[in-house]
Structure 1
Amino acid sequence: MFETIQLAKGVQLHVRPTTQFKTVNFSVKWRTALTNEAAAVRTVLTNVLQHSNAKFKTTAAFRSYLDDLYGTVLYFDTSKRGNEHTVLLNIETVNDQYLNNANVLQEVLSIVHTAVMEPNVDENGQFVETIVSREREMVVQRIQSIFDDKTRYAQTQLTKNMRPNHPASISANGSLEAVKAVTVESLMAEYTRMLAQDRVDIYVVGDVNVEEIAEQMKQALPLQDREVSSITVPQADVQPFEYVREQQDMKQGKLHIGYSTPVKFGDSDFATMQVFNGIFGGYPHAKLFMNVREKESLAYYASSSYSGHYGLLFVLAGIEAANEKKAYTLIQQQLEAMQQGEISDLELAQTKAMLTNQLKEALDSARGQIEIYDQYKDLPESFNIDTWSARWTQVTKEDVQRIAQQVTLEAVYFLSGKDNA
């Protein structure tokens, strides 16, 4: 799917030449070990790089220049996966072949160089204090906004209860305390370290020449050799079962349930775990949706999600506080039914079809191709739709039942209004 070229030790370029899109998409990913401190300083760094550099001192000037490049999109962001924290630079620009007498691609690569390699610094070689202060406050507000999103807040609290001081409960933005502690000095130190030491993956999707784009990327991002090692998720300290209740000024209750499973991304049972999650609560035809929401009308929504890198399974349900016990009991009954092998042919077939269709839909976009390949590329065999579709097809009811029997309840968190106390 992608051709891989090593630009330097620890720096890989992945190119997919294709006429599928009229744009050229780039994604640069700098990766390091995930900690609260690293996540915090790197998130502030992405904000600073996003809005100011040596050539364009203000956000308005930078945005105006990108607009003139036929609406080129360029943005920094952060994410996490497993025990990795990633700084992202994503770019989408028009393909020169669809323009008359234009060389937009070269200008875009030039601005990529500026945005990454030529930051806006003061006479002391540090990031500008006023800009850092402003962007640090923006990240603080972003973290604090989670409190207003009660679903995200409840999920954050559940994960912290299940896996305290573990990558599973560390935000890609870092903690509030760690963000507030970021200084211009710590920001410059991390920026310098990131460019010199992070493992880097660069993706390009579009109608491009592989050899030419490789040379152009070397010029745009002249990154040197670095020593990199694999980053593994540490062993989790499983906490005693807790059923936590909290009240706030709100109406709809949030019932979040956490389970663990020995199956993780890349394991031989990973495909079976995906099918299990789809039947349990991953899709509109799933047991949670059909029985908890539709049949019994106990939830505004009810679904499950599987976090493969941590081996964790979550159920999220929006309910009336008065229905807490009924909803919780019914959710548990859906799992018990699967553990007893109560899985219909239709549930199995629909889930396999949904998994395949979901994968195909994701691959309809350049960004989707990048993200899926980036996730699956480290597995022993090369990724393609047919391989994964075949894996799902081979999953039997007995396989799903066996996986269901390995799912263990770990924690429950229920957030409701104070009037329901």
Structure 2
Amino acid sequence: MFETIRLAKGVNVHVNETTQFKTVNISIKFKDKLSKEKASARSILANVLQHSNEAYPSHTALRMVLDDLYGTSLYMDSSKRGNEHIVSLNVETVNDQYLSETGVLEKVLNLMYLVLFKPNLEDDLFKESIFLREKNAVKERIESIFDDKTRFAQQRMMDLALPEHPASIPANGTIEEVEGISNGKLMEEYRTMIESNEVEIYAVGDVKPEVIADYIRDYFHFGDREKPLAAPSMELKKPAQQRVAEFEDMKQGKLHMAFFSPVTFRDEKFPVMQLFNGVFGGYAHSKLFVNIREKESMAYYVSSSYSSQFGLMFVLAGIDGKLEEKAVKLILQQLEEIKAGNISDVEFGQTKALLTNQLTEALDSARGQIDIYDQYMELDEAFEPDYLINRWNNVTKEDIAQAAKDLSLEMTYFLSGKESDIDA
């Protein structure tokens, strides 16, 4: 799928040479250990670098040059995976061979160089007005979680269940950490990112791997990288409380349940957990959706999700504030059904089909190919889609039943309206 060329220690270029697209997609990913402070600083940094640079000192000027490059798309984002924090510079541009003009790809790479290596500085710091605006933008992004009660409830449960664990650290950090980031600290984080982070570079399009690798060598001059210091431990420790109820001014109750699983992304049983999640609550044909939302009509929504990096299974349900006990009982009943091996052919077959379709659809986009390969190359450097599909097809109902038996409910969190409303 991708051919990998090592440019330096800790710096790799992965190229999928394909005629599938008329564009060229490039993504440069900077990876560092995860912490609240780093997540906060790097989220601000992604915003600041994307805004402008030395050659194009305003956002308008940068947008104009992108328009001149046949509508090239350029953006930066920050994310987390396991105990890593990732800052990505992403570009999509038209392939030169479909134009009368040549050299567009080189111009785009030069622009990427400017974004990363020639930021908009003032007295050796980022331009203060841009720094303050983008710092505030990240703060507002974090604060927006309070308006989305489902996201808020999930974050509260994680803070309570696994404090200081990577699973509970938001990709954008915390308001407290963002407020503590100075321009000087941001500059330090920028230098660390450019000089020390592991770098994975992806390109998808009708381009030769060696050509892309030569361009990257010419423009970016990445040197050797040392492995970062130990990241936070991902060991799951039993929460101090098994049930927490909190109250907000709201009408719909938010029930969140956290289960521990011994199976993580790198485990050979990882495909089994993917199928278990699909049967349990991952799709519209799942047991939770059919039996709790449709048959019982007691949930506005209900679903499960599997966080494979950490070995965590979540169930989320929107219910009336008075129905928590009944909802928990019904959810656990569906889990018991799977433990007993009561999995229908429809639940089993549709889950396999939907997982395969989702993977296939993701691979229909260049960005999807990059994201999937960046994740799954940890399992197999020569990753191909059939690697997963074959493993899903080999999973049995008995395997899924055993995965269910290995789950343990560790916390139930319920966010609802005023306590008096529930007791009424």
Q: Could you say which TM-score interval applies, normalised by the shorter chain?
A: over 0.9
Q: Give SS of 1:322's match.
A: coil
Structure 2 contact 96–105 (Cα < 8 Å) conserved: yes
Q: Give SS of 1:87's match.
A: strand
Match in the other structure for 1:187: 186
Distance 2:236 2:272 in 1: 23
The count of residues paired between Structure 1 and Structure 2 equals 420
Match in the other structure for 1:117: 117
Matches within 5 A, 1:5-154: 5-122=5-122, 124-154=123-153
Q: After TM superposition, give the deviation of residue 138 of structure 1 in Å.
A: 0.8
Q: After TM superposition, give the deviation of residue 241 of structure 1 in Å.
A: 4.0
**Which of 340-349 and 394-403 deviates more?**
340-349
Distance 1:93 1:417 in 2: 49
Matches within 5 A, 1:237-386: 237-380=237-380, 382-386=382-386
Q: Give SS of 2:125's match.
A: coil
Amino acid at match of 1:152: R
Structure 2 contact 26–202 (Cα < 8 Å) conserved: yes
Q: Give SS of 2:323's match.
A: helix
Structure 1 contact 240–410 (Cα < 8 Å) conserved: no
Distance 2:185 2:228 in 1: 23
Q: After TM superposition, give the deviation of residue 243 of structure 1 in Å.
A: 1.5
Distance 2:260 2:241 in 1: 12
Amino acid at match of 1:47: N
Match in the other structure for 2:203: 204
**Which of 213-222 and 229-238 deviates more?**
229-238
Amino acid at match of 1:420: D
- Over residues 10-35 of structure 1, what are the superposed CA-to-partner deviations in whole Å (9 max), with x where a residue is unaligned? 10000000000011001111001000
Q: Give SS of 2:257's match.
A: strand
Distance 1:397 1:127 in 2: 56
Q: After TM superposition, give the deviation of residue 229 of structure 1 in Å.
A: 5.3
Structure 2 contact 33–228 (Cα < 8 Å) conserved: no
Q: Give SS of 1:321's match.
A: coil
Structure 2 contact 256–314 (Cα < 8 Å) conserved: yes
Amino acid at match of 1:164: P
Match in the other structure for 1:393: 393
Amino acid at match of 1:261: S
CA RMSD in angstroms, aligned pairs only: 1.4
Write out the 4+ residue segments of structure 1 that deviate beyond 3 Å after TM superposition.
229-233
Q: After TM superposition, give the deviation of residue 417 of structure 1 in Å.
A: 2.2
- Over residues 149-174 of structure 1, what are the superposed CA-to-partner deviations in whole Å (9 max), with x where a residue is unaligned? 11110111111122111100001111
**Which of 174-183 and 316-325 deviates more?**
316-325
Q: After TM superposition, give the deviation of residue 233 of structure 1 in Å.
A: 5.6
Q: After TM superposition, give the deviation of residue 232 of structure 1 in Å.
A: 5.9
Matches within 5 A, 1:393-412: 393-412=393-412
CA change 1:66–1:16 in 2 (3 A) is same
Unmatched segments (≥5 aa) in structure 1: none
TM-score by length of 1: 0.97
CA change 1:240–1:175 in 2 (3 A) is same
Amino acid at match of 1:171: P
- Over residues 305-363 of structure 1, what are the superposed CA-to-partner deviations in whole Å (9 max), with x where a residue is unaligned? 00000000001111122322222211111111111211112211111111111111110
Distance 2:244 2:29 in 1: 37
Structure 1 contact 22–94 (Cα < 8 Å) conserved: yes
Structure 1 contact 82–233 (Cα < 8 Å) conserved: no
Distance 2:89 2:34 in 1: 18
Distance 2:220 2:292 in 1: 52
Percentage identity across aligned positions? 54
TM-score by length of 2: 0.96
